[in-house]
């Protein structure tokens, strides 16, 4: 019995490792131009990165609407919306879910920031945030802080959803302060 269980666990671990290796994982580098995009949001509008020039953008990728970790992360970003606004920043969430799924998620969880539907997986792939999960693909839990000039200021890979919103706010404070001192 234990031998069979160990074999199953070993096969599952090998499967997970292989799917991670086959995933698209080249993250844009700090200082590079953020790949532009236009995606539909939960309200049906098209949202483009260029719409947010002159603002900080916290572009966060997450695996799936209505799941525990993604819900926790979204709630924290929602809770901190005033803090982002004070810093001239917006939060944009991206997953491969549909706009309809995002709309249900926002309604159920009381979210009022934009969730973007990358159903073609192209934006997630451009940002090195598309991973294979078994026979399907999902967005990896990565975030890109984009400065007001449209450059990648900082990347966060494999984030902890419980404390990530606070990490992004702290990074904006640090980076905005450094930009002010450089002028």
CA dihedral 162, 165, 171, 177 (to 10 degrees): -140
Q: Which of 70, 89, 130, 168 is catalytic?
A: 70
DSSP 146: E
70 catalytic? Reply is yes
Q: Catalytic site residues?
A: 70
């Amino acid at each position: 019995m234990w031998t069979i269980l160990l074999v199953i666990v070993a096969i599952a671990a090998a499967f997970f490792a292989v799917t991670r290796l086959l995933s698209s994982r080249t993250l844009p580098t700090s200082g590079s131009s953020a790949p532009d995009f236009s995606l539909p949001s939960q309200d049906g509008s098209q949202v483009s990165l260029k719409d947010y020039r002159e603002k900080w953008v916290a572009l966060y990728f997450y695996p799936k609407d209505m799941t525990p970790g993604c819900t926790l992360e979204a709630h924290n970003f929602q809770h901190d919306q005033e803090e982002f606004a004070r810093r001239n920043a917006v939060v944009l969430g991206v997953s491969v879910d549909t706009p309809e799924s995002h709309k249900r998620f926002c309604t159920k969880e009381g979210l009022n920031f934009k969730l973007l539907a990358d159903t073609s997986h192209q934006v997630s792939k451009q940002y090195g945030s598309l991973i294979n999960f078994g026979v399907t693909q999902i967005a990896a839990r990565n975030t890109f802080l984009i400065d007001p000039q449209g450059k990648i200021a900082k990347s966060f890979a494999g984030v902890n959803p419980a404390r990530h919103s606070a990490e992004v706010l702290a990074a904006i404070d640090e980076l905005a302060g450094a930009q002010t001192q450089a002028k």
